[in-house]
Amino acid sequence: MAHGKETPRQKMIGMMYLVLTALLALNVSTSVLDAFKIIDEGLSKTNNTLEAKIFKVYEDFEMQEQINPSKAGAWKEKAFGVRQRADSLVKKIRDLKLLVVQEAEAGNKEAIQDGEIVRENIKAVTDYDTPNRILIGAELTSESKARKLKEQIEEYKNYLMEFIPEENVKLRESIMGSLDTEDEKDAKKSPKENSWEYHKFGHSPLMGFLAIMSNLQINVRNAEIELVNYLYSRIDEGSVKFNKLEATVIPNTNYVIRGNKYRSEVFIAAFDTTNPPEVFVTEGSRPYEEVKDAEGRIIDYKIRDDLKYELLPIEKGKAVYERPGGSPGFREWGGIIEVQGPGEEKIRRPFKQSYQVAESNVVVSPTKMNVFYYGVDNPVDISVAGIPANQISAVNTNGSITPRGGSWIVNPRRPGFSTIRVFADFDGQKREVGFKEFRVKTVPDPVAKVAGKKGGGIEKNLLLAATGVQADMEGFDFDLTFRVTEFTVLAVIQGFVSDNTSKSNAFTQKQKDIIKSLSRGSNLYIQDIKAVGPDGTVRILGTIYFKIN
């Protein structure tokens, strides 16, 4: 279907949706459907990114209303009406997702936690019945949830169209394409199969359904951001006359990490684009000279004859002052900003600023020990002196590192070495402020035990009372669980070797019979013990040797 020119994001989402539809039509295996967990997760991240961008536009509306309420107020009211409609529709889609998952995962409390779907815990990934039953029912009627959802999308689409004039064909086609609810027109299919509702939900497994619903949420947000951006463009601040001029200096920070730059914007708060200012700057604590009248009142300012000044370039009424963060220390700078007044005279305003250059002081400390372990969550604390936690990010050269709570979690990809590189946000730009290298080791093997014993003498009754073989971690700080998956019991009875293998951690009946037949002084061997840990690897544990007391 062609819906006019689409953004790269819309094209990407459309291609993902086509792949999903094709795979669903092929009735693919569970292993392939599991891949749609990743697709749905990607769609959710895209939705979060869109919501963040939309939120920024609404903040701009509020700022413009403060600047010029008479002109911006009406457009802000329209935009916030769109916001309310979009939020309501996105919530409706979210509620339907939760309802279907609750029905499909009845009894599985891990699938939904704190009102959020946990994809990794979903078991009924190939459940074709529940999405159809909940959204469509036995027959598609006006009361079907799919039909009501379609009507709500169409109402939202029609509401957005009211704000766009007919001559703006490009925007109208784009939003119509994002919110398309047209039925299919395949002559080989029945009217039911051609319906938008059945096409979306008539034959979708659970994971496919979640991806489809996430795609619908993105379509709603795409249409929202296109419309509110259009409404924002309609605000015309017009010409405003100012009767006061003030020199304004906005630094990116007053605390500079060595190796990074100090950056500051210097501009007249009110300016005429046809009359750009001139900004003269110099370093020092006295960057300008005051001009006083006979009574000692300051009447003007001027640059000093004994100092060397730099004329800053002007872009859109603003001058940008940049200096590299060299040797540590305190820096002072300032100067004069000039703008042509109504007559022949120039208006001058002074300014002074300072900043601190400091050595990088990055702290990357493992919470539990001085190494990382492959296959487990390794907690790490990261801080940078003078930088808020929300402006710090990090990357891991061997695996992943993600924030969790007040710390970070490192998951190495392989044993060897891992370097954590830390970045801080300086004036909207991420810059590296330090790094630290760690060793990466595999989790040590657990110790095989029966009835809490690793071998030696044991009472026969105590051995029979044990359920099987356990794998315990000894002297390891992480709370890890290893599961025994296989072991063999072997003993020599009346000169013959008797053995039996269990494919779990529990004694088989044959193994218990071997134990019962042992007399005092007999030897029992539990060998070929295999255990699986959180990293998924199979560990071969040592043999347990018991002597019956």
* 3 state SS for 489-536: EEEEECCEEEEEEECCCECCHHHHHHHHCCCCCCEEEEEEEEEECCCC
Q: What is the CATH number of domain 447-548?
A: 2.60.40
The answer on pLDDT for 364 being more than 80 is no
pLDDT, mean of residues 518-522: 90
Element (H, E) at 477: none
Answer whether CATH 1.10.3720.10 is correct for domain 247-358.
no
pLDDT tens digit string along 392-439? Answer: 899 999 999 999 887 899 999 888 999 999 998 876 778 888 888 899
CA distance 20 to 273: 52
What is the reported pLDDT for 356?
74
Q: Are 46 and 218 in contact (CB under 8 A)?
A: yes
The answer on pLDDT for 243 being more than 80 is no
The answer on pLDDT for 163 being more than 80 is yes
SS3 463: helix
Instruction: Tell me the pLDDT of the chain averaged across its residues.
Output: 83
Q: What sign does the dihedral 134-139-140-143 (CA atoms) show?
A: negative
Domain ranges of the chain: 8-233, 247-358, 362-442, 447-548
Backbone Cα Rg of the chain: 35
Residue 95: half-sphere exposure toward Cβ, Cα within 13 Å = 9
Residue 95 CB neighbour total at 10 angstroms: 10
pLDDT, mean of residues 532-547: 89
pLDDT, mean of residues 334-342: 83
What is the reported pLDDT for 36?
57
Q: Are 76 and 59 in contact (CB under 8 A)?
A: no
Instruction: Please determine whether the domains at 362-442 and 447-548 fall in the same fold group of CATH.
Output: yes
Burial of 66 (0-12, 13-18, 19+ CB in 10 A): exposed
The answer on pLDDT for 237 being more than 50 is no
Of the listed ranges 103-117, 246-260, 449-463, the one predicted with least confidence: 246-260
CA dihedral 221, 222, 228, 232 (to 10 degrees): 140
Q: Are 451 and 466 in contact (CB under 8 A)?
A: yes
Q: Are 330 and 283 in contact (CB under 8 A)?
A: no
pLDDT, mean of residues 265-284: 76
| Angstrom distances, CA of residue 453 to CA of 139, 168, 538, 543, 547 | 63, 80, 22, 12, 12
CA distance 331 to 282: 11
What is the reported pLDDT for 456?
92
pLDDT, mean of residues 282-303: 90
pLDDT, mean of residues 190-214: 85
Homologous superfamily assigned to 362-442: Immunoglobulins (2.60.40.10)
The answer on pLDDT for 317 being more than 80 is no
Please report, for the chain, how many H helices and E strands are present, in that order: 12, 29
What is the reported pLDDT for 35?
57
What is the reported pLDDT for 113?
86
What is the reported pLDDT for 342?
58
**Non-local CB neighbours of 188 within 8 Å, separated by 6+ positions:** none
Highest mean pLDDT among 6-15, 125-134, 236-245: 125-134
More confident residue, 198 or 386: 198
| Angstrom distances, CA of residue 156 to CA of 49, 85, 87, 159, 199 | 21, 7, 11, 5, 21
pLDDT tens digit string along 18-46? Answer: 555 555 544 555 555 555 566 767 677 88
